Structure 1
Protein backbone atom coordinates (compact mmCIF):
# COMPACT_ATOMS: atom_id res chain seq x y z
CA UNK A 1 0.00 0.00 0.00
CA UNK A 2 1.37 3.39 -1.01
CA UNK A 3 1.80 6.05 1.65
CA UNK A 4 -0.14 9.28 1.42
CA UNK A 5 1.68 12.60 0.92
CA UNK A 6 0.86 13.58 4.52
CA UNK A 7 2.42 10.38 5.86
CA UNK A 8 5.53 11.02 3.78
CA UNK A 9 5.80 14.61 5.02
CA UNK A 10 5.54 13.45 8.63
CA UNK A 11 8.47 11.09 7.96
CA UNK A 12 10.64 14.00 6.78
CA UNK A 13 9.99 13.94 3.05
CA UNK A 14 9.67 17.20 1.18
CA UNK A 15 8.51 18.16 -2.30
CA UNK A 16 11.34 18.03 -4.83
CA UNK A 17 10.90 19.68 -8.21
CA UNK A 18 13.45 19.15 -10.96
CA UNK A 19 13.67 20.94 -14.29
CA UNK A 20 15.49 18.62 -16.67
CA UNK A 21 17.10 19.96 -19.82
CA UNK A 22 17.79 17.35 -22.48
CA UNK A 23 18.73 17.19 -26.14
CA UNK A 24 16.32 15.89 -28.74
CA UNK A 25 17.54 12.56 -30.13
CA UNK A 26 17.18 13.54 -33.81
CA UNK A 27 18.10 17.22 -33.39
CA UNK A 28 21.13 17.51 -31.08
CA UNK A 29 21.11 21.32 -31.25
CA UNK A 30 17.60 21.55 -29.78
CA UNK A 31 17.17 21.65 -26.00
CA UNK A 32 13.88 20.59 -24.47
CA UNK A 33 12.66 20.67 -20.87
CA UNK A 34 10.84 18.21 -18.66
CA UNK A 35 9.54 18.97 -15.15
CA UNK A 36 9.62 16.14 -12.59
CA UNK A 37 8.05 16.38 -9.12
CA UNK A 38 7.88 13.88 -6.25
CA UNK A 39 8.27 13.63 -2.49
CA UNK A 40 11.91 12.94 -1.64
CA UNK A 41 14.40 12.99 1.23
CA UNK A 42 17.03 15.72 1.32
CA UNK A 43 20.03 15.87 1.08
CA UNK A 44 20.49 12.50 -0.65
CA UNK A 45 17.41 12.67 -2.95
CA UNK A 46 17.16 8.90 -3.66
CA UNK A 47 13.98 9.17 -5.77
CA UNK A 48 15.40 11.94 -7.95
CA UNK A 49 18.62 10.03 -8.61
CA UNK A 50 16.65 6.85 -9.31
CA UNK A 51 14.65 8.77 -11.94
CA UNK A 52 17.85 10.19 -13.46
CA UNK A 53 19.30 6.67 -13.72
CA UNK A 54 16.04 5.51 -15.36
CA UNK A 55 16.29 8.39 -17.84
CA UNK A 56 19.89 7.57 -18.75
CA UNK A 57 19.12 3.85 -19.19
CA UNK A 58 15.76 4.00 -21.01
CA UNK A 59 15.25 7.39 -22.70
CA UNK A 60 17.12 8.34 -25.87
CA UNK A 61 17.36 12.09 -25.21
CA UNK A 62 20.76 12.75 -23.58
CA UNK A 63 20.70 14.94 -20.49
CA UNK A 64 22.14 18.44 -20.72
CA UNK A 65 21.56 19.75 -17.20
CA UNK A 66 19.22 19.51 -14.21
CA UNK A 67 18.03 22.23 -11.87
CA UNK A 68 16.14 21.22 -8.74
CA UNK A 69 14.70 22.60 -5.55
CA UNK A 70 13.47 20.94 -2.37
CA UNK A 71 10.91 22.22 0.14
CA UNK A 72 9.90 20.55 3.37
CA UNK A 73 6.17 21.04 3.71
CA UNK A 74 5.91 20.23 7.42
CA UNK A 75 8.66 20.78 9.95
CA UNK A 76 8.84 19.54 13.52
CA UNK A 77 7.68 22.86 14.97
CA UNK A 78 4.60 23.06 12.76
CA UNK A 79 2.97 19.75 13.63
CA UNK A 80 1.69 18.69 17.02
CA UNK A 81 -0.78 16.12 18.22
CA UNK A 82 -3.88 17.54 19.90
CA UNK A 83 -5.63 15.22 22.35
CA UNK A 84 -8.47 17.55 23.34
CA UNK A 85 -9.92 20.93 22.60
CA UNK A 86 -11.30 23.56 24.97
CA UNK A 87 -13.45 26.42 23.75
CA UNK A 88 -13.24 29.64 25.68
CA UNK A 89 -15.78 32.37 24.92
Structure 2
Protein backbone atom coordinates (compact mmCIF):
# COMPACT_ATOMS: atom_id res chain seq x y z
CA UNK A 1 0.00 0.00 0.00
CA UNK A 2 1.38 3.39 -1.05
CA UNK A 3 1.66 5.98 1.71
CA UNK A 4 1.31 9.72 1.25
CA UNK A 5 4.28 12.04 1.61
CA UNK A 6 2.82 13.50 4.80
CA UNK A 7 2.46 10.04 6.37
CA UNK A 8 6.07 9.24 5.49
CA UNK A 9 7.31 12.52 7.01
CA UNK A 10 5.34 11.88 10.21
CA UNK A 11 6.99 8.44 10.45
CA UNK A 12 10.45 10.05 10.41
CA UNK A 13 11.28 9.99 6.70
CA UNK A 14 13.02 12.98 5.17
CA UNK A 15 13.59 14.16 1.63
CA UNK A 16 16.86 12.80 0.25
CA UNK A 17 18.33 14.37 -2.88
CA UNK A 18 21.32 12.74 -4.56
CA UNK A 19 23.41 13.94 -7.47
CA UNK A 20 25.10 11.02 -9.21
CA UNK A 21 28.07 11.68 -11.47
CA UNK A 22 28.69 8.93 -13.99
CA UNK A 23 30.90 8.27 -16.98
CA UNK A 24 29.28 8.08 -20.40
CA UNK A 25 29.36 4.47 -21.70
CA UNK A 26 30.87 5.40 -25.08
CA UNK A 27 33.12 8.25 -23.91
CA UNK A 28 34.68 7.36 -20.54
CA UNK A 29 36.36 10.74 -20.15
CA UNK A 30 32.99 12.57 -20.21
CA UNK A 31 31.08 12.95 -16.92
CA UNK A 32 27.34 13.45 -16.80
CA UNK A 33 25.03 13.98 -13.82
CA UNK A 34 21.70 12.54 -12.74
CA UNK A 35 19.48 13.88 -9.94
CA UNK A 36 17.55 11.38 -7.80
CA UNK A 37 15.04 12.34 -5.09
CA UNK A 38 12.93 10.23 -2.71
CA UNK A 39 11.79 10.05 0.90
CA UNK A 40 14.29 8.03 2.93
CA UNK A 41 15.35 7.27 6.49
CA UNK A 42 18.60 8.70 7.84
CA UNK A 43 21.29 7.65 8.70
CA UNK A 44 21.06 4.30 6.85
CA UNK A 45 19.38 5.61 3.65
CA UNK A 46 18.04 2.21 2.45
CA UNK A 47 16.25 3.60 -0.61
CA UNK A 48 19.29 5.55 -1.79
CA UNK A 49 21.59 2.55 -1.49
CA UNK A 50 18.99 0.34 -3.22
CA UNK A 51 18.96 2.80 -6.12
CA UNK A 52 22.77 2.88 -6.27
CA UNK A 53 22.83 -0.94 -6.36
CA UNK A 54 20.23 -0.86 -9.17
CA UNK A 55 22.41 1.62 -11.07
CA UNK A 56 25.52 -0.52 -10.74
CA UNK A 57 23.64 -3.67 -11.84
CA UNK A 58 21.52 -2.25 -14.67
CA UNK A 59 23.03 0.97 -16.10
CA UNK A 60 26.03 0.90 -18.42
CA UNK A 61 27.55 4.20 -17.28
CA UNK A 62 29.80 3.52 -14.26
CA UNK A 63 29.40 5.83 -11.27
CA UNK A 64 32.14 8.35 -10.63
CA UNK A 65 30.78 9.88 -7.41
CA UNK A 66 27.58 10.55 -5.46
CA UNK A 67 26.70 13.66 -3.44
CA UNK A 68 23.56 13.67 -1.36
CA UNK A 69 21.69 15.69 1.24
CA UNK A 70 18.91 14.69 3.61
CA UNK A 71 16.35 17.06 5.07
CA UNK A 72 13.61 16.23 7.55
CA UNK A 73 10.79 18.57 6.68
CA UNK A 74 8.65 17.78 9.72
CA UNK A 75 9.00 15.37 12.60
CA UNK A 76 6.30 13.60 14.63
CA UNK A 77 6.83 15.93 17.61
CA UNK A 78 6.52 19.10 15.52
CA UNK A 79 3.01 18.52 14.15
CA UNK A 80 -0.05 19.64 16.07
CA UNK A 81 -3.73 19.86 15.25
CA UNK A 82 -5.11 23.41 15.33
CA UNK A 83 -8.81 23.50 16.08
CA UNK A 84 -9.57 27.21 16.01
CA UNK A 85 -8.27 30.54 14.86
CA UNK A 86 -8.42 33.95 16.57
CA UNK A 87 -8.39 37.12 14.51
CA UNK A 88 -7.35 40.47 15.95
CA UNK A 89 -8.40 43.56 14.05
Instruction: For residues 8-59 of structure 1, give each alpha carbon's deviation from its aligned partner in whole angstroms, at most 9, with x where no partner exists.
Output: 0000000000000000000000000000000000000000000000000000
* Distance in 2, Cα, partners of 1:79 & 1:19: 30
How does 1:65-80 map onto structure 2 within 5 Å? 65-80=65-80
TM-score, structure 2 length as denominator? 0.90
1:28 aligns with 28
Q: Which runs of 5+ in 2 are unaligned?
A: none
CA change 1:88–1:60 in 2 (3 A) is: closer
* Distance in 2, Cα, partners of 1:63 & 1:74: 32
CA change 1:87–1:56 in 2 (3 A) is: same
SS at match of 1:2: coil
2:81 aligns with 81
How many pairs were matched up?
A: 88
4+ runs deviating over 6 angstroms: none
- TM-align CA RMSD: 1.5
